Amino acid sequence: MWIAAAAVMLVFVLGLASAIGRARKGQWWTAGSVLLPVLGIVGILLGCVARQSTSFFWLGCLFVAAGFGAEAMACWRTRTPRSEKVVQ
């Protein structure tokens, strides 16, 4: 049990460090797409451990879905519009 808790905390700390690094570069959507799924995984695991509480599980699923949405926004915002592409 302690190994699983340590692994979850390690994933959380590494994801948080990566999100902070992205946010310091001004890549807010990318930072959100890293941090939200990590928080979602922590919530899902808490929901699985505390079998009585399914609210952590569904909150974790919501965070993971929001992370995918933030990833889509980051991808959409970094695309170059077809009218601005330079032909060489």
84: pLDDT confidence band, cut at 50, 70 and 90? low
Contact 69, 63 (CB under 8 A): no
Q: Is the pLDDT of residue 65 over 90?
A: yes
pLDDT at 81 over 80: no
Q: Does residue 74 have a pLDDT over 70?
A: yes
Q: How many helices and strands in the chain, by DSSP H and E? A: 3, 0
Residue type, 28: W
pLDDT in tens, 8-58: 888 889 999 999 998 999 888 889 999 999 988 888 887 777 677 778 888
